[in-house]
Amino acid sequence: MTAEDLIKNNSLTDIEVTGNQTVVFSEIALTAVNMAREEVKCTWEKATAAFVKDAEIKTKKKCEEAFRSVITAVVLGQACGEPIDAEAEFRKIMNHI
Per-residue pLDDT of 32-78, as tens digits, reads 888 999 999 999 999 999 999 999 999 999 889 888 888 888 888 88
Longest dimension (CA), the chain: 91
Q: How many CA atoms lie within 13 A of 51 on its CB side?
A: 6
Residue 13 has pLDDT above 70, yes or no: no
pTM tops 0.75 = no
Instruction: Say how far apart CA 67 and CA 61 lie, in whole Å.
Output: 10
Given this model, what pLDDT does residue 4 score?
80
Of the candidates 56, 48, 62, 64, the residue with the CA atom closest to the CA atom of residue 97: 62
Amino acid at 68: R
